[in-house]
Amino acid sequence: MGPSTQRDESHEEVDYIPLAVDPAHVDDANSKAGPEPESDEVVLVNPRGESMTDTVGFAVAYVFGFTFIMCTWVILFTNHPFTLGWFFWHPFLLSVAVVAHTYGILTLQPTSHAQPSVKAAGRSRHQLYMFALGFPAAALGIVAVSYNKYLHHAAHFATWHGRFGIATLTWMLVQIAVGGGSVWANGKLFGGNPRARRVWKYHRLSGYVLFVLLLVTAHLGGTWSDFAQNNVVPIVRLLAYTIAPILLLGGVFARVRLSKMRFFNRFA
């Protein structure tokens, strides 16, 4: 490999960790890369910059995301779906939103600075799954259940599931505005780069917290709602809405790169 790769200043998405350096530039590369890690452990990565932990995390998230949505759909379609009215669309669409947000995060984790096209493609898929699918599905799902409550003169947001749900949807709106503003039009909304880049890392952290809130909301609805209590056996509720969300979250968080956000780096 030739001289060390220059740092991509367009986005905070990628760690700057040279894979190899030319002997003539050792001092320069070391000054840019920062202090050497304390451990001598070698972590093997694939061309996308993924370690074995990343690969296992992806598989776990994929399997239990699939478990979550399939259990939800089977429950709906085996409980007289045509008699459920507008309520049917609430769990159906919200399960789509959970999976869309899961994939939207996974596709952005982690990408290699050696492959700018891979990073750009991941960012495009992230926006597609979050903005074009995940948020509309969540919004329409909440509209559906709200209209169903209106038809039956039921109280709105009377449970923790409902309160967490409206908080999650509101957070999604803010997340879209901040995330879009930090990358669209070269981050012009926040004064362009590098200011917009600094906003992005907070958007990223906020997204992970939002994902936790989304899964907690799904757990509350799938485990404790009247529909779940009356129509779903306890073992299925446990698997689909407690175990699956926990392992799904674990798979996603196993792939997190805290170093990319660099909150405690004064040069970030």
Confidence class of residue 140 from pLDDT cuts 50, 70 and 90?
Answer: very high
Q: Into how many domains does the chain fold? A: 1
Nearest in space to 146 (alpha carbons), one of 137, 136, 156: 156
Q: Looking at 56-60, 89-93, 201-205, which range is the least confident one? A: 201-205
11 inside domain:
no
149 inside domain:
yes
User: Domain of 123: which CATH number?
Assistant: 1.20.120.1770
Three-class secondary structure assignment of the chain: CCCCCCCCCCCCCCCCCCCCCCHHHHHHHHHHHCCCCCCCCCCCCCCCCCCHHHHHHHHHHHHHHHHHHHHHHHHHHCCCHHHCHHHHHHHHHHHHHHHHHHHHHHCCCCCCCCCHHHHHHHHHHHHHHHHHHHHHHHHHHHHHHHHHHHHCCCCCCCCHHHHHHHHHHHHHHHHHHHHHHHHHHHHHHHCCCCHHHHHHHHHHHHHHHHHHHHHHHHHHHHHHCHHHHHHCCHHHHHHHHHHHHHHHHHHHHCCCCHHHHCCCCCCC
10 inside domain:
no
Mean pLDDT score, 44-52: 64
Mean pLDDT score, 203-208: 92
253 inside domain:
yes
Is the pLDDT confidence value at 184 over 90? no
Q: Looking at 141-155, 184-198, 236-250, 254-268, which range is the least confident one? A: 254-268
Mean pLDDT computed over every residue of the chain:
82
76 inside domain:
yes
What distances in angstroms separate CA 224 from CA 78, 123, 204, 241, one per listed residue? 19, 36, 30, 10
Mean pLDDT score, 130-141: 96
Q: What's the whole-model pTM score?
A: 0.78
What distances in angstroms separate CA 155 from CA 21, 114, 143, 145, one per listed residue? 64, 54, 14, 11
268 inside domain:
no
89 inside domain:
yes
The share of the chain scoring above pLDDT 70, in percent, equals 76
Give how far the C-alpha of residue 183 lies from the chain's centroid of Cα atoms, to the nearest Å: 17
216 inside domain:
yes
**What is the pLDDT at residue 3?**
47
- Domain with 162, as residue range(s), is 52-260
